[in-house]
């Protein structure tokens, strides 16, 4: 019985960490979009934008691999944000269901 509880707590911890990573990556993509909107076309020379692009590039590359070729490259960060949103939603549901299961 104790092993089952410990495995449940470990699994819950993994879900919480993955949820936090999804939230962090999503906020970075939102920050990149905000800097893009506020730089008035000079985003490539903005150091903050380049930093955001560097940090979010793994997520954007992963989104590029799952999107069709017809999707323009400028839309891929938005696709990445939407994928992260759905991942976050799934992890939130999983977290709450695991917490309810442990409470019972």
Q: How many domains does the chain have?
A: 1
Backbone phi and psi for residue 46, each to the nearest 5 degrees, phi listed first: -85, 125
Indicate whether 77 pLDDT > 70: yes
* Residues near 25 by beta carbon (within 8 Å), at least 6 away in sequence: 56, 59, 84
pTM across the whole model = 0.85
DSSP states of 42-90 as a string? -GGG-HHHHHHHHHHHHHHHHHHHHS-TTS-GGGHHHHHHHHHHHHHHH
Provide the 10 A C-beta neighbour count for residue 60.
19
CB atoms within 10 A of CB 4: 9
Quick: pLDDT tens for 15-72.
999 999 999 999 999 999 999 999 888 888 889 999 999 999 999 999 999 999 999 9
Structural domain for 66, as ranges: 2-103
């Amino acid at each position: 019985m104790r092993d089952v509880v410990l495995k449940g707590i470990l699994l819950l911890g993994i879900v919480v960490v993955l949820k936090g990573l999804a939230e962090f990556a999503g906020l970075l993509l939102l920050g990149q979009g905000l800097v893009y909107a506020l730089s008035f076309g000079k985003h490539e020379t903005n150091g903050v934008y380049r930093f955001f692009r560097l940090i979010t590039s793994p997520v954007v590359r992963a989104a590029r691999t799952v999107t069709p070729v017809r999707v323009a490259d400028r839309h891929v960060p938005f696709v990445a944000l939407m994928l992260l949103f759905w991942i976050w939603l799934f992890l939130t549901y999983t977290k709450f269901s695991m917490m309810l299961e442990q409470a019972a």
